[in-house]
Amino acid sequence: MSSFPTSKAPGDHAVACDSGSVTCILQSPEAQRHWARDGIYGLGESWMNGEWTVDHLDDFLCQIMSGPTPKISWLSWVRLLGAAAKTRFVDQQAGKGAFRIGEAHYDLGNELFELMLDSSMSYTCGYWKDATDLEEAQRHKLDVLCRKLELEPGMQVLDVGCGWGNFAHHAATHYGVEVTGLTVSAEQAEYAKNRCAALPVNILLQDYRTFDGHFDRIVSIEMIEAVGRRNLPRWYRDIDRWLRPGGCFALQAIVGETISRTSDRRLDQYILWLVRHIFPDGCLPRVQELSARGTSMRIDSWERISGDYDRTLLAWYERFEQGWNTISDRYSERFRRCWQFYLLGCAAAFRSGLVDVNQIVYRKSSSQGVRP
């Protein structure tokens, strides 16, 4: 049985991290049992239960994610194998499954996200080059994507996974384009429609698989993680079908080798916790799955911005904690600790290099020849 991930016996512990010494205090022996049985997944469960505390949770988790793979019980191996089989063989977005993540996560209440996010309501990695705060980083990200798409006035643009309408609003306001946005969240759709009411923006509460149309440019900012491994080839074919010849498609995607024979078990343990508590049916694509094989699109540019996500997540966490008292009557303390582990655990995953985020631009050939 593995001891709790510290240098001493249960009690008051010190762990060496990049930022110095991190103090971890066990509040219950259950924390030890969770860790020994389920590794990082168990740490998340016991953190939510208030069974242990630590001064700098992100540094603590980064230490673990950068260290030896935690040993887990055979029951946890069964859970991992089950998740791998589900990812590979089950279409978790079938039927109304595509709307599950909207109902379980994005419809938690706009007041929660307004508290945590910047004024544009961008719930994706910011672009921190030359930015001094979250507001600037998110504005830069939207502008960088617009420039990479080479937007011109009058173009028709599709935003797949439009969220609260941040890209649609920015592109229509500053670049004079017409935007259609797709989302599976009712709260996001209503919010985006209201904020873009005076702009040439059409927001649809619709699964992309039931949608059709033709566009000069397409953008998708961190929606691909909800598509599912089985559906990725079809997703790329749909993008290709919607995109007019000579058009561009800009993708911002979180990438990681997860829940597979060759994946990192430290990341797998954390991803399983995220899927259970934060993003139901989520699945990070692998780098090789972003090639758009079988379409007429070619990769035009690829930019890695992983360090920017660490800063973005820490900014969200700071705003979440600073404003907690204003929403604490609507959410439980367990919910608060769940989101602490979510935000700071993700920051640790990016910091340790277990996951990556990239901006990729694809260009469709004018001849529409399909690449094998």
pLDDT averaged over 10-residue windows placed end to end, the chain, 372 residues: 47 40 76 80 92 91 80 59 56 58 77 96 96 97 98 98 97 98 95 97 95 97 91 95 97 79 69 88 88 94 94 98 96 96 96 94 79 53
Nearest to 296 by CA among 350, 242, 230, 352: 242
Nearest to 9 by CA among 24, 63, 121: 24
Mention every residue, 6+ apart, whose C-beta is less than 8 A from residue 192. 162, 163, 164, 165, 168, 169, 181, 183, 201, 203
H or E element at residue 371 = none
Kindly compute the dihedral angle of the four CA atoms of residues 80, 83, 89, 90, in this order, to the nearest 10 degrees: 170
Q: Considering the domain 92-364 in this protein, what is its CATH number?
A: 3.40.50.150
> Residue 224 corresponds to which tokens in the numbers above?
């691909």
CA distances from 2 to 10, 193, 268 (A): 12, 52, 18
pLDDT score recorded for residue 13: 41
Nearest to 346 by CA among 33, 40, 4: 40
Which 3 state secondary structure label does DSSP give 32? helix
The runs of H, that is alpha helices, within 162-292 are: 166-175, 186-195, 232-242, 265-277
- Would you call 162 a catalytic residue per the annotation? no
Nearest to 306 by CA among 169, 181, 130, 128: 128
Query: 358: which strand partners?
Result: 253, 304
pLDDT score recorded for residue 193: 98
pLDDT score recorded for residue 84: 58
Residue 309 CA to residue 92 CA, distance in Å, equals 27
pLDDT score recorded for residue 83: 56
Residue 133 CA to residue 171 CA, distance in Å, equals 21
Domain ranges of the chain: 12-72, 92-364
- The one-letter amino acid code at 213 reads G
Q: Residues 62, 125, 338, 346: which is the catalytic one?
A: 346
- What letter does residue 105 receive in the DSSP assignment? I
pLDDT score recorded for residue 322: 97
pTM over 0.75? The answer is yes
* Biggest CA pair distance of the chain: 67
Mention every residue, 6+ apart, whose C-beta is less than 8 A from residue 265. 39, 69, 70, 72, 80
pLDDT score recorded for residue 87: 54
Nearest to 44 by CA among 264, 265, 272: 272
pLDDT score recorded for residue 318: 98
Residue 272 CA to residue 83 CA, distance in Å, equals 8
